C-alpha cells in the first residue's frame, strides 16, 4: 500500500480489488495502475471563525482514474475523513461509474470536520475556501464535484458560485446536486434513495417476496436513508421498525411514522427525544429480525462480528463500503438466506442522475422529473440485470459480479488507449 493512503477503509477497498483481480486473473503488472489513484490533492483550508479566530481544516480530493472521461464524485464533510478514506471512496466510484456505463472515472473529496459544530456562516466560508483551493485541479471536463455525507444542495450552490465567480461566468456544470434554481436537475436530491428502493423492489421480485406489510430497518436517516425509508413505507407499504442517526437508534415494532421522524429531525437536528419510537443500541438494531436492512450511513458497519447474526432477507447497501471483506465471506455462505445488493449497484442512482444533471447543465437543456426518474430506472435495470446474470452464470456473489463488470470495463479502456509514451 502506498504510505499516504494508509487507512483501514483504503485497505478494505484494496482487499476487495485483490479478490477480483485474482478472480479475473489480472496480471500483477497491471494491478497497481488499476488500484492506485492517478492524482491526490491535499489542501490546507483556513477559515475565519465567528469568534474572530482562524481555524485550519484539512481537505482532500482524489481522482482515481482518467481513462474513460473526467472524474466524478462527491465531497464529504465528516470528522472521520482521511486521504485514505477518500481514496477508497474514489476507487469505489470508478467501479460504480463503469458498472453503470457512465463516461467517468471515480473521484471523491472531503474535509476533516464535523459540520454540525459549525455555524451557517462558518460552513459557507469553509465550503467556499475548500472549492477555491481546488480550482487549479478541477473543471467541468476534468473533475466534477457532487454531494456526499455532511454536504447538501446549499454547499453545492456555494461551490458553484465560488467557481463561477473565479471564471466570471456561470458554470453550473462544475457541480451536481445543486438546487434547481441554479441549474440543478429535478429529482437529484432523491435519486440515490429512489434508486435504492427500485433495486429493493427488483430484488424482492427475484425472490418472489411481497414487500407490503414487511419490516425494514434504516441505519442513517440523512438524504439517502430518509428518502429510502419514504419509498419503502409509502410506495411499498413496508413497516419501518427502526432507524438510526449518528446520535442513536430508535425502534418501534408497530412501525415508525417516517414523515413525523423527518419533521422531528428538521426541527431538532436529530432524533433525540422522538416520542414515536424507543431508544435502543445502534449495534443491536442491525441484527433485529427484518426483511430489508438498509445501511445508509458510514462504512464497515457489517463486519465479521455481526454478519452471521443478521436476520434480514435483503441487504441493500445504500452507504459506500458498509460491508467488510470478512463479512462478505460469511454473507456468501448465507447467499440463499440474504440477497445482497452491493453498494456500487445499490447507491448508483446518485451518480446516474448527477450524470444527467451534468449533461443538462452543459447543454442548458432540462428534463422534467418524470423523464429523469424514468431514465434513472432504465440505467439501474440494465446494471441490475447484468449483475444478476453474471452472478448466476459464474456462481459468484453479487458484489463479485458487480465489481468484475466495473473493473473489466476500466481495464478495457486502459488497454484500448495504451500506455503513453
Ligand atoms: P447525510 O449526511 O445526508 O446523512 C448521513 C446520515 O448518517 C445522518 O443521519 C447521520 O446522522 C448518520 N450517521 C453518520 N454517522 C453515523 C453512524 N456512525 N451511525 C449511524 N448513523 C450515522 O449523508 P447521505 O448523503 O445520506 O449519505 C449516506 C451514505 O450514502 C454515505 O455512505 C454516502 O457515501 C452514501 N451515498 C450518498 C450519495 C448521495 O447522493 N448523497 C450517493 C451515493 C452514496
pLDDT digits (tens, 9 = 90+) for 86-99: 999 999 999 999 99
Residue 3 has a pLDDT of 83
pLDDT score of 1 more than 60 = no
Q: Which three cell numbers stand for residue 358?
A: 451534468
| Runs of H (alpha helix) within 281-419 | 282-285, 325-333, 343-346, 349-363, 369-394, 398-417
Q: Summarize pLDDT for 315-338 with one digit per residue, the tens.
A: 999 999 999 999 999 999 999 999
Q: How far is Cα 417 from Cα 232, in angstroms, rounded to an integer?
A: 43
Q: Is 323 in the pocket of ligand 1 (CB under 6 A)?
A: no
Q: Comparing C-alpha atoms, which of 85, 95, 90, 121 is closest to residue 107? A: 90
Q: How confident is the model at residue 268 (pLDDT cuts 50, 70, 90)?
A: very high
What is the per-residue DSSP string for 4-59?
GG-SHHHHHHHHHHHHHHHHTT--HHHHHHHHS-SEEEEEEEEEE-TTS-EEEEEE
Residue nearest to atom 28 of ligand 1 (CA): 297
**Atom number, ligand 1, closest to the C-alpha of residue 224:** 26
Q: Is 228 in the pocket of ligand 1 (CB under 6 A)?
A: no
Residue 403 has a pLDDT of 98
* Residue of 250, 296, 316, 355 to test ligand 1 pocket, by largest number of atoms within 8 Å of CB: 296
Q: Comparing C-alpha atoms, which of 261, 252, 266 is closest to residue 217? A: 252
DSSP letter at 370 equals H
Residue nearest to atom 23 of ligand 1 (CA): 149
Q: Which residues contact 177 (CB under 8 A, 6 or more apart)?
A: 74, 146, 147, 152, 153, 156, 184, 188, 189, 350, 354, 357
Chain mean pLDDT for the chain: 97
Residue 323 has a pLDDT of 98
DSSP letter at 170 equals -
> How many other CB atoms sit within 10 Å of the CB of residue 361?
25
Q: What is the mean pLDDT of residues 193-222?
A: 98
Report the separation in Å between the CA atom of 393 and the middle of ligand 1, taken as the mean of its atom positions: 34
Question: Angle at Cα 407 formed by Cα 404 and Cα 411, nearest 5°?
Answer: 130
Q: Is 352 in the pocket of ligand 1 (CB under 6 A)?
A: no
| Runs of H (alpha helix) within 208-251 | 223-230
Q: Is 196 in the pocket of ligand 1 (CB under 6 A)?
A: no
Q: Which residues are 279's β-sheet partners?
A: 250
Contact 200, 232 (CB under 8 A): yes
**Atom number, ligand 1, closest to the C-alpha of residue 146:** 40
Residue nearest to atom 35 of ligand 1 (CA): 319
Three-state SS string over 273-317 comes to CCCCCEEECHHHHCCCCCCEEEECCCCCCECCCCHHHCCCCEEEC
Q: Which residue has the higher pLDDT, 388 or 335?
A: 388
pLDDT score of 301 more than 80 = yes
Q: Is 296 in the pocket of ligand 1 (CB under 6 A)?
A: yes
Phi and psi for 241 in degrees, rounded to 5? -90, -15
Report the separation in Å between the CA atom of 167 and the middle of ligand 1, taken as the mean of its atom positions: 32
Q: Which three cell numbers stand for residue 147?
A: 454531494
pLDDT score of 2 more than 80 = no
Q: Is 147 in the pocket of ligand 1 (CB under 6 A)?
A: yes
Residue nearest to atom 13 of ligand 1 (CA): 246
Q: Are strands 54-63 and 39-48 parallel, antiparallel or unpaired?
A: antiparallel
* Residue of 102, 223, 244, 251 to test ligand 1 pocket, by largest number of atoms within 8 Å of CB: 223
Gyration radius (Cα) of the chain, Å: 20
Contact 399, 214 (CB under 8 A): no
Q: Report the Cα 169 to chain-centroid distance in Å.
A: 30
Amino acid at each position: 500500500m502506498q504510505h499516504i493512503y494508509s487507512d483501514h477503509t483504503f485497505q478494505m477497498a484494496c482487499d476487495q480489488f485483490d479478490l477480483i483481480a485474482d478472480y479475473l486473473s489480472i496480471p500483477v503488472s497491471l494491478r497497481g495502475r488499476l488500484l492506485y489513484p492517478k492524482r491526490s490533492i491535499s489542501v490546507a483550508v483556513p477559515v475565519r471563525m465567528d469568534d474572530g479566530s482562524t481555524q485550519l481544516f484539512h481537505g482532500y480530493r482524489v481522482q482515481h482514474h482518467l481513462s474513460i472521461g473526467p472524474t466524478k464524485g462527491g465531497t464529504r464533510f465528516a470528522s472521520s475523513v482521511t486521504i485514505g478514506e477518500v481514496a477508497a471512496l474514489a476507487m469505489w466510484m470508478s467501479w460504480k461509474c463503469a458498472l453503470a456505463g457512465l463516461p467517468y472515472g471515480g473521484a471523491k473529496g472531503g474535509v476533516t470536520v464535523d459540520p454540525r459544530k459549525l455555524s451557517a456562516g462558518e460552513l459557507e466560508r469553509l465550503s467556499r475556501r475548500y472549492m477555491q483551493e481546488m480550482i487549479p485541479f478541477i473543471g467541468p471536463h476534468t473533475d466534477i464535484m457532487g454531494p456526499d455525507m455532511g454536504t447538501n444542495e446549499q454547499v453545492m450552490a456555494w461551490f458553484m458560485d465560488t467557481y463561477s465567480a473565479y471564471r466570471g461566468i456561470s458554470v453550473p456544470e462544475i457541480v451536481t446536486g445543486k438546487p434547481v434554481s441554479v441549474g440543478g436537475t429535478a429529482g437529484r436530491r432523491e435519486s440515490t434513495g429512489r434508486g435504492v428502493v427500485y433495486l429493493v423492489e427488483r430484488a424482492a421480485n427475484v425472490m418472489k417476496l411481497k414487500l407490503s406489510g414487511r419490516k425494514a430497518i434504516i441505519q442513517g436517516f440523512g438524504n439517502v436513508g430518509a428518502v429510502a425509508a419514504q419509498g419503502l413505507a409509502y410506495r411499498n407499504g413496508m413497516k419501518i421498525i427502526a432507524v438510526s442517526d449518528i446520535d442513536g437508534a430508535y425502534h418501534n415494532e408497530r412501525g415508525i411514522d417516517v414523515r413525523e421522524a423527518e419533521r422531528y429531525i428538521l426541527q431538532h437536528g436529530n432524533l433525540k427525544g422522538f416520542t414515536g419510537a424507543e431508544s435502543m443500541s445502534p449495534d443491536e438494531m442491525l441484527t433485529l429480525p427484518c426483511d430489508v436492512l438498509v445501511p445508509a450511513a458510514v462504512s464497515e458497519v457489517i463486519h465479521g462480528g455481526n454478519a452471521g447474526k443478521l436476520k434480514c432477507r435483503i441487504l441493500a447497501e445504500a452507504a459506500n463500503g458498509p460491508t467488510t471483506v470478512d463479512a462478505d465471506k460469511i454473507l456468501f455462505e448465507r447467499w440463499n438466506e440474504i440477497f445482497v445488493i452491493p453498494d456500487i449497484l445499490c447507491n448508483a442512482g446518485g451518480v446516474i442522475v448527477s450524470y444527467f444533471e451534468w449533461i443538462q447543465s452543459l447543454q442548458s437543456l432540462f428534463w422534467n422529473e418524470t423523464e429523469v426518474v424514468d431514465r434513472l430506472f432504465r440505467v439501474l435495470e440494465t446494471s441490475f440485470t447484468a449483475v444478476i446474470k453474471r452472478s448466476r452464470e459464474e456462481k459468484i456473489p453479487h458484489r463479485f459480479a458487480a465489481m468484475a463488470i466495473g473493473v473489466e470495463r476500466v481495464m478495457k479502456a486502459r488497454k484500448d488507449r495504451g500506455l503513453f509514451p
